[in-house]
Structure 1
C-alpha cells in the first residue's frame, strides 16, 4: 500500500541521478516536460515519484530526442483552478510541449480544454477515467492531443456491479464526488447495477470542504440500503463514512480505487472496514509487469500497490518515447502523432527500462516502430486515446491491501459486454 516517503529526498536523489546521467552522456541541452499531480495528498506523491523514476531511466539511456529531460512538477491539490493555473504556468512560462497529468478527471478536463488543446500540448494522464474524455475525442475536440493509460470508469463501475451481485446485495446507496469523475461514475453505476438486478436506492453528490455531510448521509440512508458504494477521494470519503457509521449505516461498502489509501483506512479505522471491498484496474500477469514491480521495489523499497503507480510509469515512458520518435524541437501535435509509432502492435518489442529505451532509440532512428511493453502490459490506445485493462477486487488489511479477485482483460471485456 502507499508508504509516505521523504519526497524532497527522493526527488533530490532523482535529480542527482539525472545530473550524473547527463554528465555521463556529455549532452549540452535539456528539454522540460510538465507534470501536474496532487503531491499534497498522500496517494499523489508516489504517483509523482514514479513518473520521475521513468524520467531518470530515460536520462540514463541518454535522454530523449538528444537532450536530457527535466520534469517540472506542480501540485494540483486535486483542485481544478489550482491545476489549471499550474498547467498554464508550465505551458506559458516553461514552454513544455508534453504535460503529464492530472489524476482527477475533474482537474484533467479543464486543463485539456483551456490549456493543452489551445496550446498544442500533448497531455498524457495516468489516472483520469471519466468517459467524458471519450465523448470529447469522438467530437474531435481533443485534436488528438489526449491520451490516458488508465481505463475508463466503465471498468470500475462494471466490476463494482459484479461485486454487489456476487455479495448478494439487492439495494445499494451511492455517494459520489461532485466533479466530472464522480458524476460519470454515478451515471455508469446506475446502469450497471440495474443490469445485474441491484437497485440504487439513492445517488448523492458530495462536495469538497463541507463542515458536515449529515444531510447527504441522511438522504443516502433513507432507502435503508444493504450496502454503500463510494466514488470519493480520501478526505471527503473519510468524513462521509464517519458520518454514515455514526448514523447507523452498514459496514458493507464497495469502494472505487480512489479510496485505496492509507489515509482513508487509518482515518476511518480498520475495525470498520472488514466488510469493505474495493475495485481497481490492474496490471496484466505479464513479464513486463513483473519487471516493473521488481524495479520499483529496488528503487523505493516498497511494493507498487498504491493507485495509479504502474499507469504513471507508463504514461511518462510512452510520452518520452514519443518525444524520441518525433525528434528534437518537435511540436506537441508531432509528439502526439508519434505515440502510434511507440505503441505499434507490429513494432519491435522494447522493455520498460533504460535498456529498452536505448533499444527503442536504435529502432526509431532506423525508421522502424516499437511495441512498448510496460508496467501495464502492451499498451494499446484506441482512436480516442483510451485503453482497456484487467481489474482486481481488493480488501484492506492492517499492512495495506490484499487482492481478493483478479479479472483478466478478456474477463473484463466479457463481463462489460454482458451488461449491455
Structure 2
C-alpha cells in the first residue's frame, strides 16, 4: 500500500508539473500585426478569417508554445491610414510578422516605408499588383514578402477571355487611380488588344470625388460595347449609377473587388443581368472543399466574399513559419521558414486544429510540410508570388454565383496565346 501510494503521489506530482509547464507556456505570447480594411463590408470577413486561424493555432498549442496575440488594425483601404497602423504595430507593439493589406495601393507603401526597412515579414491575402513582383525581382523586398493571391495578370487575362466569349469588340476601362488600378488597367489593355479587342478608352477614377460625370461622359463618348471595371465598391457604385443614368450599356465586366453585396444592392439587380465578374479561384481539391465546410460551420454562411481562402492560407502559412522559427524569431528568420511550410515534397497536412498540431510537431523535428489549405497546396516562386486558376461569376438573388471555372492550364494557355 505504501509503495502504491508513493507511485500515485509521484504520478500526481508529474501531472501537476506538466500542467504548470503548460500554464507557463500559455503565459507567454507572440504579437502579430494584422492590417486589413475592416470598415468596408468585404474587408471584415477577410480579417475574421485571419483571426479564426490564429484561434486554431492557439488551440493547437500556440506559436512555439506561446499564445498568438493578433493585433488587428483597420486600414480603411487608405494608404496613409494603413502606413500609420503598420508603423504603430512595428514600432510600438514590436511585431515581426504583419498580415496585410488587401489593396496593393496600401500594401506597397507599407512594404517600402515600414516592414522592409524594419526587417518585418509581410504576407498578403489579396494584393495583386505586378509592381510588387518588380520590387521583389529588384531585391528591394529582401525576401520578406509573400502573397497567397495571384497577380493582376490572371484577372486581366480572364477579363479579355470573357469579353471575347461575349463577342465584345470594343471595351472602355474605368479603373481606380491607385497602384492596383493602374497595374490591372495596363495589363487588361494588353490582354484586350492581344485578343483583338479594341480598348476605346482607359479612364482613371480618383476616389472620393463629388461626381464622376466628366469621366462617365468621356467613357460614353468612346461608344464601347462594354465597360471593364477594376474598381472598389465605393467608387464603383457612384460610377455605375452615373453611367446608367446617362444611358450607358448594362454590359459590364468587373474585377473581383466588386464581388460585394454593397455594390449589388446599391446598383440594383435589375441593372446587373449582363454583368460578369472575374476572380482567381481555389482549385477543385479536397482541401478547398474542407475549407468551405469549416468556414460555414464557423460563421454560419458559405465563404462567398473575395479573398477568404487566401486569408486563411496566408495566416496559416505565416504562423506555422513563425512556429518553426521560434518565439523570438526576427522577420527574416520567419520568412526563411516559409519554404519549409510550403514544400511540395513535404508531408501533406490539412489546416484544422489536428492538422496544425501535426504540422507543428513535424516542423519542430526539422521536417518540411506541405500545407493543404483553402487554395490547395500553396507554393511560392522566388518573388513571393503564386499561380491560380480563375472563375467568372455573376450576381444572383442570393449573392455571388459562379458562372464558369477556368483551370490553371486554360488560364496559362490563354495568356500564352495573346498577341
What residue number does 1:141 align with? 140
- CA shift digits 1:265-312 (9 cap, x unpaired): 000111000000000011110010011111000000100010000000
Query: Counterparts of 2:376 and 2:415 in 1: how far apart (Å)?
Result: 20
Counterpart position of 1:11:
none
Q: Under a length normalisation based on structure 2, what TM-score does the superposition of the two structures give? A: 0.94
Once residues 211 and 318 of structure 1 are traced to their aligned partners in structure 2, the CA distance between those partners, rounded to angstroms, is: 42
- 2:242 aligned residue: 243
Cα distance in 2 for residues equivalent to 1:26 and 1:140: 38
Unmatched 5+ residue regions in structure 1?
A: 1-21
**Deviates most, 338-347 or 359-368:** 359-368
Would the aligned equivalents of 1:25 and 1:62 in 2 still touch at CA under 8 Å?
A: no
Mapped pair 1:29 → 2:25 = no
Q: What SS is found at the alignment partner of 1:117?
A: helix
2:259 corresponds in structure 1 to 260
Match of 1:5 in 2: none
The equivalent residue for 2:160 is 161
Q: Does 1:84 align with 2:86?
A: no
Do the aligned residues in 1 keep the contact of 2:30 with 2:327 (CA within 8 Å)?
Answer: no
For the 8 Å contact 1:265–1:396, the answer to whether it is kept is yes
The number of equivalent residue pairs is 399
Structure 2 partner of 1:294: 293
Name the CA distance, whole Å, in 1 between partners of 2:39 and 2:328: 32
Task: Give 1:25 deviation, angstroms.
Answer: 8.8
Q: Deviations over 1:351-384 (max 9, x none)?
A: 1111111111121121111111110000010000
1:224 match: secondary structure: coil
Provide Cα deviations, 1:35-62, integer angstroms capped at 9, x if missing partner: 0000000000000000011111111100
**Does the 8 Å contact 1:255/1:279 carry over to 2?**
yes
Where 2:409 maps in the other structure, the secondary structure is helix
Once the two structures are TM-superposed, the CA of residue 26 in structure 1 deviates from its matched residue by: 5.6
Instruction: State the match for 1:284 in structure 2.
Output: 283
Mapped to 2, the partners of 1:25 and 1:53 lie a distance apart of 24
Deviation at 1:411, TM superposition (A): 1.7
The alignment's TM-score, normalised by the length of structure 1, stands at 0.94
- 2: distance between equivalents of 1:177 and 1:201? 17
RMSD, matched Cα: 1.2
Whether 2:123 is the aligned partner of 1:124: answer: yes
In our comparison, the structure showing a higher alpha carbon Rg is: 2
Give CA-to-partner distance per residue, 1:186-211, whole Å, 9 cap, x none.
10011000011110100000001100
User: Which runs of structure 2 are paired with 1:3-402 in the superposition (5 Å)?
Assistant: 27-402=26-401
Q: Distance in 2 between matches of 1:26 and 1:344?
A: 28
- For 1:186 and 1:293, how far apart are their aligned partners in 2? 31
Describe the shift of the 1:190–1:70 C-alpha distance in structure 2 as closer, same or farther (beyond 3 A).
same
Contact 2:111–2:122 under 8 Å retained in 1: yes
CA distance in 2: counterparts of 1:38 and 1:23, whole angstroms: 35
Matches of 1:135 and 1:387 in 2, distance apart? 14
SS in structure 2 at match of 1:404: strand
Q: What is aligned with 1:15? A: none
Gaps in structure 2 of 5+ consecutive residues: 1-20
Partner of 1:4: none
Alpha-carbon distance, 1:161 to partner: 0.2
CA contact (8 A) 1:288 1:373 kept: yes
